[in-house]
């Protein structure tokens, strides 16, 4: 998309790299992430107004440490180095970096030595988040100290003539009290970016781009029941109208009433052409006896493609396939996007593209999840769709640990309904990132009606998060947990025990599989 006010983030493998881009966008300035070794030509073609060097797990003096093209420091652009990015800046520009005697991790108090420019209107003493084991021993020529902590004599440095700034701490995390202000000082004042990145402007630009790309061709879009595919469908429909046909594959692994709810919303509210294919039996048959979560994912992904493909073949003059790919998917699924590891597999419909000779339309591939929700709201979509908790592509199959059978999925679905009902009744739904039930592959002894029982165990998972990249287990009131447990045991036949998952991410993932 065309935007002249934008910031480029070079990724050196930090777990917080995506957060940097998100924080910039929250300030209504567009930002993208490139791998650390992006060519200088690619960087120039992006035409950023400033560059941020992310943190990372390496040490600059290690063999094979990720290093950028040093021409990046000769572009005449403002540059902000964060943590490893600061050490990198010092290393590349003639300073010296060495292992610190004392590693600094967690909260620290920054004493600001220069309250202008990047620290403008920042408190003279402010809490920041440190995470490093190296230190700057000698400043590069032209740099001076603008902030320190008790443990780090050089916690921030600057070369104002070149507009180079560097921070040993992480301004992008919420634990840094005035991090947002610091980043905005860099973006607004030092890089001179204007806050023009809004969902309204995104819609206008996207509609124009989609129309130009699609021309007189028809477009098909797969609807999964989730937020991303629904918002994709509405945005593409705004651009091409009746030239869009949506295909909803009901794989039998959706939440209760989900297929009908999404179909009714898109058909009645937005007058869209939707074809619903009930393939429940087909998916469950293919999953019979499969316990490995990655095999489940692959089977469901491949089967979805086959069902979708068969239906798509019945639609004439199709030239494009619309997909709800998001920016984190782009980063995770492509190795050139930096040193960050791929955690889970993503499936798409690449085979269909080749067979039908289709081209892709991915209008959300620049957006994070929270931006998709804002986009949905701007498009007039109902809250029950856009604020729905994230739901995995393979659906309940990866919350049904072990064998996936109709009877086990039915038990899980009924338990999940109760979890969500009680969470909503308590006014907690919008405060949680996700809440759901998991059916465990074990049975438990219990006593019901003076009789011994040997039944299934349901685990309840509820987390709070800003973006899904990290998450804390939710401290749900005991009385709400009690209602959830009582209802599941009394109303869901085949369950006699309910447990609560109190694992944060990391070390655990949000989903169990």
Take residue 113 and report the two structure tokens written for it: 């030595």
From the list 32, 104, 172, 303, the catalytic residue is 172
60 has binding-site annotation? no
Q: Distances in Å between the alpha carbon of 293 and those of 371, 399, 436, 481?
A: 29, 10, 18, 28
Active-site position among 91, 132, 148, 170: 170
The residue among 413, 402, 401, 488 whose CA lies nearest residue 253 is 413
Q: What are phi and psi of 324, to 5 degrees?
A: -90, 45
How far apart, in whole angstroms, are the C-alpha atoms of residue 243 and residue 430?
35
Active-site residue flag, 172: yes
224 annotated to a ligand binding site: yes
Q: Which residue has the tokens 């009394």?
A: 490
* 387 annotated active-site: no
Which strand (E) or helix (H) includes residue 341?
none
Q: Is 346 a catalytic residue?
A: no
Strands, sheet with 273-278, edge to edge from the N-terminal-most edge strand = 273-278, 244-250, 218-223, 318-322, 359-361
* 64 marked as part of a ligand binding site: no
CA distance linking residue 312 with residue 247, whole number of Å: 8
Cis peptide before 177 (omega within 30 of 0): no
Identify the CA nearest to 436 among candidates 460, 414, 454, 456.
Answer: 460
Count of beta carbons in the 10 Å neighbourhood of residue 124: 10
Question: Is 229 within any annotated ligand binding site?
Answer: yes
Q: Is 333 annotated as a binding residue?
A: no
SS3 362: coil
- Indicate the annotated binding residues: 224-230
Annotated catalytic sites, by residue? 83, 170, 172
- Indicate the annotated binding residues for ATP: 224-230
């Amino acid at each position: 998309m065309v935007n002249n006010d934008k910031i480029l983030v070079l990724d050196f493998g930090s777990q917080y790299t995506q957060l940097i881009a998100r924080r910039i966008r929250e300030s209504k300035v567009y930002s993208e992430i490139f791998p650390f070794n992006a060519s200088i030509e690619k960087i120039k073609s992006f035409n950023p107004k400033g560059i941020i060097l992310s943190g990372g797990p390496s040490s600059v003096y290690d063999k094979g440490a990720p290093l950028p093209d040093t021409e990046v420091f000769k572009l005449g652009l403002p540059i902000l180095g964060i943590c490893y990015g600061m050490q990198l800046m010092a290393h590349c520009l003639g300073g010296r970096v060495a292992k610190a005697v004392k590693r600094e991790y967690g909260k620290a108090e920054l004493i600001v030595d220069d309250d202008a420019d990047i620290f403008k209107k920042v408190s003279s003493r402010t809490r920041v988040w440190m995470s490093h084991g190296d230190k700057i021993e000698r400043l590069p020529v032209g740099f001076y100290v603008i902030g320190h902590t008790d443990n780090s004599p050089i916690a921030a440095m600057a070369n104002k003539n070149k507009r180079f700034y560097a921070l040993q701490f992480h301004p992008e995390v919420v634990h840094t009290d005035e991090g947002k202000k610091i980043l905005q000082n860099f973006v607004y004042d030092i890089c001179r970016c204007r806050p023009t990145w809004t969902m309204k402007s995104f819609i206008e630009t996207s509609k124009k781009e989609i129309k130009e790309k699609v021309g007189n061709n028809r477009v098909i879009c797969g609807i999964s029941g989730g937020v991303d595919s629904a918002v994709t469908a509405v945005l593409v429909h705004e651009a091409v109208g009746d030239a869009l046909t949506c295909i909803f594959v009901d794989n039998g692994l959706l939440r209760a009433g989900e297929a009908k709810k999404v179909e009714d919303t898109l058909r009645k509210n937005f007058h869209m052409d939707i074809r619903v294919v009930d393939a429940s039996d087909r998916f469950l048959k293919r999953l019979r006896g499969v316990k490995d979560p990655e095999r489940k994912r692959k089977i469901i992904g491949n089967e979805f493609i086959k069902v979708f493909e068969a239906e798509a073949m019945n639609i004439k003059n199709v030239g494009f396939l619309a997909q709800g790919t998001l920016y984190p998917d782009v980063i995770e699924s492509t190795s050139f996007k930096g040193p960050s590891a791929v955690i889970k597999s993503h499936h798409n419909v690449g085979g269909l593209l080749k067979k039908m000779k289709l081209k892709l339309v991915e209008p959300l591939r620049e957006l994070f999840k929270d931006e998709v929700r804002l986009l949905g709201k701007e498009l007039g979509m109902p809250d029950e769709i856009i604020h729905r908790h994230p739901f995995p592509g393979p659906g309940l199959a990866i919350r049904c640990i072990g064998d996936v059978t109709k009877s086990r999925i039915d038990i899980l679905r009924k338990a999940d309904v109760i979890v969500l009902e009680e969470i909503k009744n308590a006014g907690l739904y919008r405060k949680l990132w996700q809440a759901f039930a998991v059916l465990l592959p074990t049975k438990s002894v219990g006593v019901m009606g003076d009789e011994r029982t040997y039944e299934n165990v349901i685990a309840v998972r509820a987390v709070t998060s800003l973006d899904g990249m990290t998450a804390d287990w939710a401290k749900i009131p005991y009385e709400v947990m009690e209602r959830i447990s009582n209802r599941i045991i009394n109303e869901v036949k085949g369950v006699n025990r309910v447990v609560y998952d109190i694992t944060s991410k990391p070390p655990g993932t949000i989903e169990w599989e």
